[in-house]
Amino acid sequence: MGPYHLLHEQLDIRLEERTGSVVLEVCGACDVSCHEQLRERLLDAEAREPEEIVVDLTELSFIDSNGLRVLIGAWNRSRQASHRFGVALAESGQVRRVFEATGLQHVLPLAAPQAA
């Protein structure tokens, strides 16, 4: 099994509306085959015009540059739409390492994990 065996893990995104905010709980793996699914769910969340969108990645096991690009795009749109945007990360794991290697934890606003 090569280094890309995680790419077959399914992406699951749960969207929950809370008072003034929308939370997307993202589980599984976000790669080139499914980053568009994340983008569509973020656009759906944005269309609800919340005060805040939180993307909880604490249960995400893998993210590639396509997924990062989707998150950066959502953050840029949030700044234009004047709503808050935050990303929740697990304490360790591949996703945390990617954020640290790219410096995105210093760019994208971090939020507390949102699991209900």
Q: How far apart are CA 17 and CA 94, in angstroms?
A: 28
Overall domain count for the chain = 1
For residue 21, give the CATH number of its domain: 3.30.750.24
Say if 26 falls within a structural domain. yes
pTM of the model: 0.89
Say if 51 falls within a structural domain. yes
Say if 62 falls within a structural domain. yes
Say if 113 falls within a structural domain. no
**Predicted confidence band of residue 2 (pLDDT cuts 50, 70, 90):** very low
Instruction: Give the range of the structural domain holding residue 19, as residue numbers without chain letter.
Output: 11-106
Model confidence pLDDT, tens digit, residues 24-83: 999 999 988 899 999 999 999 999 999 999 999 999 999 999 999 999 999 999 999 989
Say if 4 falls within a structural domain. no
Say if 43 falls within a structural domain. yes
Model confidence pLDDT, tens digit, residues 79-96: 999 899 999 999 999 999
